[in-house]
Structure 1
């Protein structure tokens, strides 16, 4: 598929820390197959943080969603079953001093934009935390 065609993938994952590695490797394969290898390193870091938060801080299933929108925006998001907002990211210097709490600070520092939204569909509640990378 050429870079000027939109696409989207979703990977449903269990509440298991091993799902973080599966998500990261799946994302690498998707981006490589679509000729977006230049985005792999940063995208893997961002997906790792988003999926790790979804798995570590909630009790139910989660999902990784990856979407490419021409002319050059990659959106990476993680859904989880907890409708509560994510903890706001601390300033990066403060986050680096602690063992936990660095995830969204890294996302804020490395992504072009990030955000979250509550979700409710077919009786299921949760939230979707996402970030975007430009391909330029």
Structure 2
């Protein structure tokens, strides 16, 4: 059986160690993949939002993370970041209907704060986002979560 994919679809996956340099590696990967596929108009936003999710994975877990880029066609891109913690932060924890309405918005972080802007930035710049926890699912306890966004 032969499978044919439309020319504007692609998928890249990268496993990232628990290392403070993981966000930089993720940014470089995003930049190279998107430039290679002519998606230069979204590079800056995707690079920023990917960096935020990978940084959160590093800061809030003790294990590795994984990055997955999936071109969905028609100029849409989904980025997923898996980590070993099953906890899904708001607003990624909303049911599917809530994500579309983007009803729970995170308040902006004070200008003098050193952290806390990542999920706010995802809300502001992504067209949609969500999360899945694998902590209580078929993969067993502690299997982590996947946070994703689309642009």
**Equivalent residue, structure 2, for 1:112:** 127
What displacement does 1:68 show?
0.3
Query: Which one is further off, 33-42 or 82-91?
Result: 82-91
1:46 partnered with 2:49: yes
CA 1:29–1:114: 2 relative to 1, 3 Å? same
Structure 2, unaligned runs of 5 or more = 92-104
Q: How many residues in Structure 1 have an aligned counterpart in Structure 2?
A: 131
| RMSD between superposed Cα atoms in Å | 2.1
CA 1:75–1:42: 2 relative to 1, 3 Å? same
Say which SS state the counterpart of residue 125 (structure 1) adopts.
coil
Q: Deviations over 1:96-132 (max 9, x none)?
A: 4422211100111111111111125655611001110
Structure 1, unaligned runs of 5 or more = none
Contact 1:95 1:102 in 2 (8 A): no
CA distance in 2, matches of 1:66, 1:125: 20
Contact 1:96 1:102 in 2 (8 A): no
1:7 partnered with 2:10: yes
1:91 partnered with 2:107: yes
TM-score w.r.t. structure 1 length? Answer: 0.86
More strand by share: 1
